[in-house]
Amino acid sequence: MRNVQLIALVLLMIGSLVGCAPNANTSMESKPAAKVEKIEHSLLKVGEAVPSLEAKMLDGTTFNIADHKGKVVVLDFWGLWCPSCVEMLPEIREAAHEYEGKGVEVIGVNTDELSTEELSEKLKKADITWPQITLGTIDSPVVEAWKVDLFPTVYVVDQEGRVAAVDPENLKAAIQKLL
């Protein structure tokens, strides 16, 4: 029993280190037990123009990234279902508060399958006060267009609408570089 608990703990730790990949094929049926498959990511590249993004916000308004040219936009693709996403929230919160009113928009792109009321309540309990786009699913065309296949994924978009950073190691430094 102790070995099973240890294995479960190790798998949980590995999952939290690499992120959440809900769309990844996790079946091991046709793969040898000793082989580890490397997941290739096709995220947007630095310097690439961002795709369009028009989506409903939690407050009922519509977010359109085209309306934010001239500002730095941080898009955090995440969900409460993802432990790695939740672990990253303090860094996102800090950036949202530090750069508020300074030409930087921090926007959560939430994929939780919850009603507006349920999500609002959970976000309030978690002290998530920055604006949230509510996709309601990981299978959204927005997730596909932005090539998000691992959660969390953070894009920093420059004032011209180009990708300036993808999952930066230091979010505040990536933002500061653009100001």
> What pLDDT score was predicted for residue 42?
79
Q: What is the CA radius of gyration of the chain?
A: 17
> What pLDDT score was predicted for residue 175?
98
Residue 74 structure tokens: 């941080």
The structural domains of the chain, ordered by start, are 1-179 (3.40.30.10)
- Report how far residue 137's alpha carbon sits from residue 15's, in angstroms, rounded to the nearest whole number: 20
> What pLDDT score was predicted for residue 138?
94
- Report how far residue 39's alpha carbon sits from residue 42's, in angstroms, rounded to the nearest whole number: 10
Cβ-contact 127, 141 below 8 angstroms: no
pTM of the model: 0.79
pLDDT in tens, 59-75: 999 999 999 999 999 99
pLDDT in tens, 92-150: 999 999 999 999 999 999 999 999 999 999 999 999 999 999 999 999 999 999 999 99
pLDDT in tens, 27-52: 333 333 444 444 556 799 999 999 99
